[in-house]
Amino acid sequence: MSDLIAQLQSISTQVAQDGAVELDSATRKEAAALARMIMVDLEDPGILIDRIIYQPAENALIRVAVDTGLFLALTESSSPLTAEDLASKINVEVTLLERILRGLAAMHAVKETGLDEYSPTKVSKAFTSVKGASMACVFGDLLHPPWNKIPQLLKATNYRNPTNPDWTAFNIAFNTKDHMWDLLDSDPELLRNFGIFMATQAVGRPNFLDFFPAKEQLIDGYESELNTGGVMFVDIGGARGEEALELKRRLPGHPGRLILQDRADTLKHVPVTEGLEMMVHDFFTPQPIRGARVYYFRRIFHDWNDALSLKILQKTAAAMAPGYSKMLINDIVMPRRGASSFATNQDLLMMSLFSSLERTEQLWRDLLHAAGLRILRIWSTQGAVESIVEAVLA
């Protein structure tokens, strides 16, 4: 066993040193999965139970560290800080701060560099990012409470698959008949954080343009139609337009118009950008842009059950031009085996919020067929969670 410890320490040191190990994203994910399996295999069952059950406490500590600016203060410091130094910087009572720091150190979110002395770790730095800070707030305030009510919901439905969007774990958690979108509309600060979260959630994951050949599939051979005022790309429910803007960045000088569609409350926060048109649109109503080359949805349909998803698809399909228009759906295609924890967590999140789901390939085929569409191809890449479902009118 001492040899095993030495080997693990050697691997840990090697991986921690910047540049010591050159690994691509897919290899990193596979190695991390193996490390988690090793941890489970090594743990005593009682210790394993403790670790899993106490995870909400770790989320709470992360949120406190974000709210108080603790992580930011450590990251910005050129040298380790004592609890008293930190207490003065972030205005937290020192006895309380010592308790928080001990908890953070136990989960490797800060490093104990000496007695009562701390420095940042990879975890600290990650949560000073826009993505980390916004997710800590949005999940703590909005998304964790419904997750906790999934057992109550399933027990009440006698363990039937939830499909009713008007009675969800979200409704139980917040004791409301409103939907999540209604709550967001009533809380400007939460809506702002949610918008930031949605804009940054893909950080660290492949963009669809990394594995979908957009120029070859969407533009080549169609330049004449696009150069005469045609619409090349409609980003439906596209929030702040990150996907359309990334397409614009990667294909400079592309032919055709780019249009971002979303709710008025969302679009008012989107900066005006040359070459990106903004249009208020409810995707449950008829699509006003007819005959576009591409109608694009990213992470839309997992919010809605089959009946409501079918309505969205039909409203869009009615605007598509036969033999010309394509629909691109950027979403999870849930594997029947070997699904990632991110994909399965997303599935449970959709269940808790909307009584909806992440779909398998067959479920996607059934849904699109019902809308009068057929799948040409499902595009993906190693290490990607989301795929591109490419469809046309049947």
Positions marked catalytic:
302
Q: Which residues of 57-72 are buried (b: 16+ CB within 10 A; e: fewer)?
A: eeeebbbbbbebbbbb
The residue type found at 328 is L
Closest C-alpha to 283, from 358, 371, 190 = 371
Question: Which residue in the block uniquely carries the two structure tokens 């080997």?
Answer: 7
Contacts of 18 (CB under 8 A, 6+ apart): none
Closest C-alpha to 264, from 283, 279, 274, 277 = 279
Beta carbons within 10 angstroms of residue 150's beta carbon: 18
DSSP label at residue 154 = H
DSSP class per residue in 65-110: HHHHTHHHHHHH-SS-EEHHHHHHHHT--HHHHHHHHHHHHHTTSE
In angstroms, the Cα distances linking 161 to 84, 170, 264, 305, 357 are 52, 16, 33, 11, 10
Contact 294, 233 (CB under 8 A): yes
3-state SS of 180-209?
A: HHHHHHHCHHHHHHHHHHHHHCCCCCCCHH
Classify strands 386-393 and 326-334 as parallel, antiparallel or unpaired.
antiparallel
